[in-house]
Amino acid sequence: MKEKFSFKKQYRARTIFNIFNFLFFTLVLVAVLIPLIKVFVDSLDASGSYGIRLWPQNPSFSAYKIIFSTTALYQPFLISLYVTALGTFLGLFMCTIGAYVLIQFEMPGRTLFSYLLLFTMIFSGGLVPTYLVMKDLHLLNTLWAIVLPASLNVYNLILMRNFFEAIPGSLFESAEIDGCTPFGIFTRIVLPLSKPALASIGLFFAVAFWNEYTNFTIYISNPKLFNFQVKLRSLILDDQSLAAASSEGIYAKTVQNAAIIVAVLPFMFIYPFCQKYFVTGITMGAVKE
């Protein structure tokens, strides 16, 4: 009887928790979606009457046509795509190679290298020394100044190493017995089994490179090399490129809202396809038996 009462009590508590949990995350979802929907609606509003509504008056995609037809707007978008693609590829390459090296238990100085990597997470060289290094390497006003420093992220490297360590060592031993080289083990066993980690960490790199703003303002002074985020800021504040919009009878605020939607649109489409790998890639390798 006591066990039955305890079960009912736990069931009631779980039900109440689920209800409040559902209500809380529903409020969070509404708080996130409403501003985004409002910006999207305003980006389609050709009348210029920006009120509190969830449907535009005189909907038109003219603002998006201006963004992708004006060189001052679509060129930064292409630069963002290029930096994101190149940076994500280099980041995954560096992280996978580095993580594979760190799981080699017979490698001399393995622990020392791990501590040195952790040291860089706590202490950095500072902004001025980093700028001087970029200057001496002649990387200023080049996109390599954006890609190279961020291509090796220690946090992502540690996540990848933990994932690799969760792979059963018996697979490595069997491959070695069959005559597989270390590079063959890496390409034929480690990488195919690490798709969840590659997807989640690749998403981390892609989001970081796509949203990069600070390094562009520090290392890039050539406006032709600005990415979409830098251009978006100047577009929202004051930009003469909006003259093209006014000449076509489109309000500047409409183009600004359209640019904001374009900035967030790529990952709104990418994330749903990576979601199943995202959670798995973070949790796997975190707990060892």
Domain CATH code at residue 113: 1.10.3720.10
Instruction: Using pLDDT thresholds of 50, 70 and 90, give the confidence band for residue 7.
Output: low
pTM: 0.79
Q: Is 145 found in the same domain as 95?
A: yes
Total domains, the chain = 2
Determine the Cα–Cα distance for residues 187 and 189; give it in Å rounded to an integer: 6
* 250 shares a domain with 131: yes
Query: In this structure, is residue 53 part of a structural domain?
Result: yes
Confidence band, pLDDT 50/70/90 cuts, at residue 94: very high
Do 99 and 129 share a domain, yes or no? yes
Domain end, chosen from 21, 40, 60, is at 60
Residues 210 and 244 in one domain: yes
% residues pLDDT > 70 (the chain): 85
Which of the four pLDDT bands, split at 50, 70 and 90, describes residue 289?
Answer: very low
31 in any annotated domain? yes
Q: Are 273 and 133 found together in one domain?
A: yes
pLDDT at 71: 67
Structural domain boundaries enclosing 54: 1-60
Q: Position of tokens 């199943």?
A: 276
The answer, yes or no, to whether residue 250 has pLDDT greater than 70, is no
Q: Does residue 288 belong to any structural domain of this protein?
A: no
User: Same domain, yes or no, for 90 and 10?
Assistant: no
Q: Are residue 147 and residue 13 in the same domain, yes or no?
A: no
Q: Collect all residues with Cβ–Cβ distance below 8 Å to 213 and sequence separation of at least 6.
A: 227, 229, 230, 233
| Res 114 pLDDT > 90 | no
63: confidence class by pLDDT, cuts 50, 70, 90: confident
Q: Has residue 3 got a pLDDT over 70? A: no
What pLDDT score does 238 carry? Answer: 63
Least confident of 33-47, 225-239, 244-258, 273-287: 273-287
Q: Rounded distance, CA 226 to CA 237, Å?
A: 16
User: Do 112 and 235 lie in a common domain?
Assistant: yes
* Residue at which a domain ends, from 21, 42, 60: 60
Chosen domain end from 36, 60, 84:
60
Residue 253 falls within a domain, yes or no?
yes
Residue range 126-130: mean pLDDT, rounded: 87
Q: Average pLDDT over the chain, rounded to whole?
A: 82
**Would residue 289 count as lying in a domain?**
no
Backbone CA torsion sign across 220, 223, 227, 231: positive
Co-location of 88 and 160 in the same domain? yes
Same domain, yes or no, for 149 and 14? no
- Shared domain for 167 and 200, answered yes or no, is yes
Residue 128 has pLDDT above 50, yes or no: yes
Q: Is the pLDDT of residue 112 over 50?
A: yes
